[in-house]
Chain A
Amino acid sequence: EVQLVQSGAEVKKSGESLRISCKGSGYSFTSYWISWVRQMPGKGLEWMGKIDPSNSNINYSPSFQGHVTISTDKSINTAYLQWSSLKASDTAIYYCARLGNYALGHNWFDPWGQGTLVTVSS
């Protein structure tokens, strides 16, 4: 079974750093890009960026460029999303999701991780 399993919920204070993870299994991890998607409380879905685990090539949404860092460790089939200095406005659920066949333009997401709730208090 193809699945993405994310790390658990986090409660942090403004200014703290954080890294959350997403571990892939059931498929060749380096064959598919991984994306991160934000969902703020009661709101819709926002694409943050994507990474190619085979070579760590990264593309960020302009809305998130400079605010987060996406990385991967292909030796353990894991992608990461990190912040160096959290803000209260970073409070959200963060999903990782596998991108379809990028070379064929299949830019949809399946499967998704279960989500990681990040709560940042001021």
Chain B
Amino acid sequence: DIQMTQSPSSVSASVGDRVTITCRASQGISSWLAWYQQKPGKAPKLLIYAASTLQSGVPSRFSGSGFGTDFTLTISGLQPEDFATYYCQQADSFPVTFGGGTNVDIK
């Protein structure tokens, strides 16, 4: 199975900050990576797929980049509704696997 390692596991930030989350795959996955946002008590929501394509309806302050084994999710100008947990997921092969999550909370 492909292992996905996210960092940091937690980050404290303020409204307006730029936040970057990284995700590393244990082997190359081309651009087959997705990012999800999960708020407490809610289901995950797809933000980005194919490493950098924004899902319809997702604000443009979210962006993704990377190829192969190293990927990043950037939130430019953190908003109050962005405080949540973020997961990466490799979509290269089954079983698909998720990173351990990054909790973005209020500083």
Write the residues of chain A forming the contact surface with B, with a CB cutoff of 8 angstroms: 44-47, 50, 59, 61-63, 95, 97, 100, 105-115
Contacts and interface: CB of A to CB of B under 8 A. Distances in A.
B95 A107 contact: no
A59 to B, nearest CB: 6
B104 interface: no
A110 B97 contact: no
B98 interface: yes
Nearest to B89: A108
Contacts of B96: 47, 107
A109 B46 contact: yes
Interface residues of B, number: 24
B97 A108 contact: no
A34 B42 CA distance: 19
B52 to A, nearest CB: 13
| Central interface residue in A62, A105, A113, by most chain B CB within 10 Å | A105
Contact of A44 (B49, B94, B101): B101
Contacts of B36: 45, 109
Nearest to B4: A44
Contact of A45 (B46, B94, B98): B98
B91 A105 contact: yes
Contacts of A46: 98
Contacts of A95: 43-44
Contact of B49 (A62, A100, A115): A100
B98 A47 contact: yes
Contacts of A112: 43-45
Interface in B33-64: 34, 36, 42-46, 49-50, 55
A112 B94 CA distance: 18
A57 to B, nearest CB: 12
